[in-house]
């Protein structure tokens, strides 16, 4: 049977991560023995195909048969390691014109064969290198007939489409029409009977690339995290100038029908007020509500004001709310020096963040699998992500849902028109609603919502272990929640030693205002556990009258909680609700899939590796051995390898042996030997710091230098503490807000139950000392005693991890078919 021929195209508005989709499909396709093609300029390229020409008289037409474009020589079949890798049309990907017979100029070659090396380096590029377009011709039956003809002509039998809901609707229309298109082409004698038979079924798969995160049946669309990052970078930059001049800024962000970007940006950027289409301000006139909120912030000494307006924002009467008008209101009513910044297309641009490299890679691999398994009796799929798992949902259903959600959007508007806001919000998913509530809680200075005095608590907050992105954001959130409820938030500096030194402070609303975007730990961290002097710790708990305790940190915080819980029987002061919020770049806390800080750290790793790779490629054929932190957990190294396209990855879980090293050297030699002359690239090897005590980064680097001979040179780079990241990523910040608020509610719930018991004999139940975990899409508190079963206490990591399969995948995508387990 001949190899399946897969073509991939990107369509609709560009989004970061589309290149990673194309790269993953080309690579996974080749690894699965397919021939891979790229369609340039979206559906427009599919309609134009390879044969459009223009002659001297300016006449255009289609050439048949298509001109023969030279294909670079295939890799020799006897090359054991890379036997399956083929090069494609190479340079033609980047260029559209060439001379063909008869004085005619080829206008475009839109469907090109793509090989392994054609997608080299695509990871780090923003937008879509394959090009995209909004094609009106593909919307017509004639256009789709021509598109079908072009595919059949090239012998392509599978198509992967990456785009927004419009693009996926187009894919679904194409799929459903396919049999009739083939019949028509046969009737017109444009294809042979044999071709008609061979192409009776088009295998098709969709991937959602859209910056708005507005597609149903997937939790996150490709490109949305990068767009959010761009917005947050802008807000962070504006914050400093706003504070310097005591100015107000109104930022307009994308989102005509969906306020996800504006809401997430408002949450992560620490904005004062947001306008989103789904939920207009509830007070009429809204100008009063906005001015009242901002005035209160200014009265307590806030020097800057940030208001975010989604481009589709409107008031409760559906009158558009425009940034310029918001600016006028702030200037005239509050006398603020106000500026407008419209972010526009900067939101689309730039390098994809780590998540927009990992997600499209996993989805691209899954898309190829779905195509491999497709037959006329299976549905066509859209690849999504739900509950942290890559999913397949029938394309037809996903598209129907997208149409439905557009109707729902209209219903939202209708509900708003009759001022039924609850109904309007009920159309959005629970996380969206949680985040909107979270935004109001952390951004608004409430005066009127205090709990009755007897329900109020003194809540102690401590950072433990190494700093991680999001620790400060979580603390800011907790402080603001506490103040809203009437609790007293007490920040303990420098961990347990700080507590014993009485280094603690009541935190204020304004005091934590800038903590959202701050990296590191504003409270200061320490690794010392409470058993350094458990009696003294208990007496301090008592002295300061703590009613509840939240620790934000990694494995140490988990261990500390365990110690405190075990000592509840000896010390009444520990019989209070206690909770741990996992925050560590190592992502080694058992059960939880994501700790705060791990996304920030991955982004820092990606940035560093992009720079290193550039230097490695520029200097010579250089291999960089990059050492990462992570303790005895290989998460950051593994996810980092997938996000940077590293050739090899060493983790503590798998370890390093002589056999591994011998095999890896052989592989690198073979890979460099296959590089086109003068076009060798830098390659990256990622090694977790404790993968082996013998085969250290230095040993491996020197060994590769020795073995590389004339083929390649080697250097090492230790990323060390840079991985703790500077500014926390928006994903870490919004997770911090969500988890911190949930924890505050947890503490209140348990405090309420405990309060009713007599103080002297009070024993806190086991479930009131817990770790908050993210498990798939659920947030669960696991009692700390239960956590022990899932922990490898010696190696300080969880017993099972969801990410372990990524190692083989990362190495397979680096071109090691002997490790191929793309399935």
Phi, psi of 396 (to 5 degrees): -60, -45
Structure tokens at 29: 């396709």
Measure the CA–CA gap between 651 and 755, rounded to whole angstroms.
47
Q: How many CA atoms lie within 13 A of 662 on its CB side?
A: 3
Longest dimension (CA), the chain: 99
What is the rounded distance in angstroms from the CA atom of residue 498 to the CA atom of residue 490? 13
Of 118, 165, 172, 212, which residue is the catalytic one? 212
CA distances from 111 to 37, 44, 69, 708 (A): 7, 11, 11, 38
- Rounded to a whole number of angstroms, the minimum distance from the CB of residue 206 to ligand ATP is 10
- Output 13 or 127, the one with its CB closest to ligand ATP: 13
Q: How far is the CB of 406 from ligand ATP (least distance, A)?
A: 10
Residue closer to ligand ATP, measured from CB, 139 or 662 = 139
Calpha distance 32→369 (Å, rounded): 9
CB 309 within 8 A of CB 324: no
Find the distance separating the first CA and the last CA of the chain, reported in whole Å: 20
Residue closer to ligand ATP (CB basis): 176 or 282: 176
683-688 and 713-718 strand pairing: unpaired
Task: In angstroms, give the least distance from the CB of 164 to ligand ATP.
Answer: 2
Encoding tokens for residue 658? 């002589």
**Residues 6+ away with beta carbon under 8 Å from 33:** 3, 4, 84
Q: Give the separation between CA 474 and CA 490, rounded to whole angstroms.
A: 14
The owner of tokens 């490790």 is 819
Q: Which is nearer to ligand ATP, 174 or 549 (CB)?
A: 174
Least distance (Å) between residue 295 CB and ligand ATP: 38
Mind giving me the DSSP string for 271-329?
-SEEE-SSS--SSSSHHHHHHHHHHHHHHTT---EEEEEETT-B-TT--B--HHHHHHH
Cβ-based nearer residue to ligand ATP, 16 or 462: 16
3-state helix, strand, coil in the chain (%, to 5): 45, 15, 40
Surface-to-core class of residue 317, CB atoms within 10 Å of its CB (0-12 exposed, 13-18 middle, 19+ buried): exposed
In the complex, which residues of this chain contact ligand ATP (CB under 6 A)? Answer: 11-13, 43, 134-135, 138-139, 163-167, 169-170, 173, 210
Contact 43, 8 (CB under 8 A): no
Cβ-based neighbour number of residue 804 at 10 Å: 14
Residue closer to ligand ATP (CB basis): 135 or 494: 135
Which residue's CB is nearer to ligand ATP, number 134 or number 705? 134
* SS3 at position 808: helix
Supply 566's token pair.
Answer: 């075990």
Q: For ligand ATP, which is the closer residue by CB, 210 or 680?
A: 210
Supply the minimum distance, in Å, between the C-beta of residue 231 and ligand ATP.
16
Select 11 or 361, whichever has its Cβ closest to ligand ATP.
11
Nearest distance, CB of residue 15 and ligand ATP, angstroms: 7
Nearest to 7 by CA among 369, 383, 368, 396: 368
For residue 758, the tally of other CB atoms under 10 A from its CB is: 6
The residue whose Cβ lies closest to ligand ATP is: 166
Residue with tokens 């397919």: 34
Closest to ligand ATP by CB, 42 vs 90, is: 42
Smallest distance from ligand ATP to CB 413, Å: 19
To which residue do tokens 């996974």 refer? 28
* Nearest-approach distance from CB 124 to ligand ATP, in angstroms: 22
Q: Which is nearer to ligand ATP, 349 or 765 (CB)?
A: 349
* Angle at CA of residue 561, ends 559 and 567, nearest 5°: 105
Nearest-approach distance from CB 161 to ligand ATP, in angstroms:
8
Q: Which is nearer to ligand ATP, 211 or 809 (CB)?
A: 211
On the CB side of 796, how many CA atoms lie within 13 Å of its CA? 14
Q: Report CA-CA distances (Å) from 170 to 159, 402, 663, 764.
A: 12, 12, 46, 58
99 given a catalytic annotation:
no
| Torsional sign, CA 503, 508, 509, 511 | negative
Nearest distance from residue 265's CB to ligand ATP, in Å?
Answer: 18
In the complex, minimum distance from the CB of residue 11 to ligand ATP, in angstroms, rounded to a whole number: 5
- The count of C-alpha atoms lying within 13 angstroms of the C-alpha of 808, restricted to the half-sphere facing its C-beta, is 11
Task: For residues 167 and 162, give the distance between their C-alpha atoms in angstroms, rounded to a whole number.
Answer: 7
Shortest Cβ 45–ligand ATP spacing (Å): 11
- Which residues are known catalytic residues? 212
């Amino acid at each position: 049977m001949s190899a399946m021929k897969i073509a991939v195209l990107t369509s609709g508005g560009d989004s970061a991560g589309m290149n990673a989709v194309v790269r993953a499909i080309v690579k996974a396709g080749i690894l699965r023995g397919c021939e891979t093609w790229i369609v340039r300029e979206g559906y427009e390229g599919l309609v134009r195909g390879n044969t459009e020409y223009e002659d001297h008289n300016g006449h255009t037409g289609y050439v048949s048969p298509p001109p023969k474009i030279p294909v670079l020589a295939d890799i020799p079949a006897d090359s054991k390691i890379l036997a399956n890798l083929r090069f494609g049309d190479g340079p033609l990907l980047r260029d559209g014109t060439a001379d063909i017979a008869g004085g005619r100029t080829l206008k475009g070659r839109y469907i090109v064969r793509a090989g392994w090396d054609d997608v080299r380096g695509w990871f780090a590029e923003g937008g879509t290198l394959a090009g995209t377009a909004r094609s009106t011709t593909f919307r017509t039956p004639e256009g789709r007939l021509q598109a079908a003809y072009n595919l059949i002509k090239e012998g392509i039998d599978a198509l992967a489409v990456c785009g927004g809901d419009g693009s996926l609707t187009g894919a679904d229309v194409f799929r459903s029409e396919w049999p009739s298109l083939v019949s028509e082409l046969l009737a017109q004698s444009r294809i042979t009977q044999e071709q008609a038979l061979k192409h009776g079924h088009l295998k098709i798969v969709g991937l959602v690339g859209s910056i708005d995160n507005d597609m149903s049946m997937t939790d996150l669309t490709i490109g949305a995290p990068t767009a959010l990052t761009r917005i947050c970078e802008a807000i962070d930059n504006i914050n400093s100038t706003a504070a310097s001049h005591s100015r107000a800024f109104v930022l307009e962000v994308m989102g005509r029908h969906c306020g996800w970007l504006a809401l997430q940006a408002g949450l992560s950027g620490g904005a004062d007020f947001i306008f989103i289409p789904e939920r207009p301000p509830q007070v009429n006139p809204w100008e009063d509500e906005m001015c009242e909120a901002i005035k209160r912030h200014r009265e307590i000494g806030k020097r800057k004001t940030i208001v975010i307006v989604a481009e589709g924002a409107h008031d409760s009467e559906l009158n558009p709310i425009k940034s310029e008008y918001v600016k006028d209101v702030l200037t005239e009513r509050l006398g603020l020096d106000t500026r407008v910044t419209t972010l526009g297309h900067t939101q689309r641009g730039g390098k994809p963040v780590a998540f927009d490299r990992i997600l499209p890679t996993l989805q691209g691999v899954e898309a190829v699998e779905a195509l491999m398994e497709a037959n006329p009796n299976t549905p066509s799929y859209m690849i999504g992500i739900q509950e942290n798992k890559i999913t397949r949902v029938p394309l037809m259903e996903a598209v129907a849902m997208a149409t439905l959600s557009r109707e729902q959007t209209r219903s939202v508007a209708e509900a708003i028109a009759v001022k039924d806001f609850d109904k309007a919000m009920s159309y959005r998913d629970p996380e969206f609603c949680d985040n909107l509530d979270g935004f109001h809680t952390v951004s608004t200075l409430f005066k009127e919502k205090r709990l009755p005095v007897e329900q109020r608590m003194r809540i102690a907050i401590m950072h433990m272990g190494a700093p991680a992105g999001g620790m400060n954001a979580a603390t800011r959130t907790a402080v603001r929640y506490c103040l809203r409820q009437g609790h007293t938030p007490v920040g303990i500096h420098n961990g347990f030693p700080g507590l014993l030194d009485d280094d603690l402070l009541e935190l204020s609303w304004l005091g934590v205002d800038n903590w959202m975007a701050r990296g590191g730990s504003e409270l200061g961290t320490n690794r010392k556990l409470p058993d350094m002097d458990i009696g003294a710790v208990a007496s301090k708990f008592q002295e300061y009258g703590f009613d509840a305790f939240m620790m934000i940190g990694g494995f140490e915080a988990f261990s500390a909680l365990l110690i405190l819980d075990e000592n509840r029987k000896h010390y009444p002061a520990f019989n209070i609700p206690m909770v741990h919020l996992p925050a560590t770049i190592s992502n080694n806390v058992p059960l939880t899939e994501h700790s705060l800080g791990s996304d920030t750290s991955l982004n820092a790793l990606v940035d560093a590796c992009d720079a290193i790779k550039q230097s490695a490629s520029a200097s010579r054929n250089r291999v960089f051995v990059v050492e990462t932190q992570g303790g005895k957990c290989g998460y950051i190294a593994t996810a980092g390898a997938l996000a940077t396209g590293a050739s090899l990855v060493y983790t503590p879980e798998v370890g390093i042996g002589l056999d591994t090293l011998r095999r890896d050297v052989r592989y690198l030699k073979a890979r460099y030997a296959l590089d086109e002359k003068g076009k060798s690239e830098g390659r990256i090897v990622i090694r977790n710091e404790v993968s082996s005590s013998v085969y250290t980064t230095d040993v491996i680097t020197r060994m590769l230098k020795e073995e590389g001979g004339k083929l390649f040179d080697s250097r090492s780079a230790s990323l060390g503490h840079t991985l703790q990241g500077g500014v926390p990523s928006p994903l870490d910040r919004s997770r911090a807000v969500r988890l911190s608020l949930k924890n505050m509610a947890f503490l209140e719930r348990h405090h309420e139950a405990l309060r009713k018991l007599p103080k002297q004999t009070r024993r806190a139940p086991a479930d009131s000392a817990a770790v908050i975990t993210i498990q798939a899409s659920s947030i669960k508190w696991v009692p700390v005693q239960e956590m022990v079963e899932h922990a490898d206490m010696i190696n300080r990591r969880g017993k099972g991890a969801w990410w372990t399969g990524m190692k083989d995948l990362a190495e397979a995508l680096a071109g090691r078919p002997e490790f191929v387990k793309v399935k």
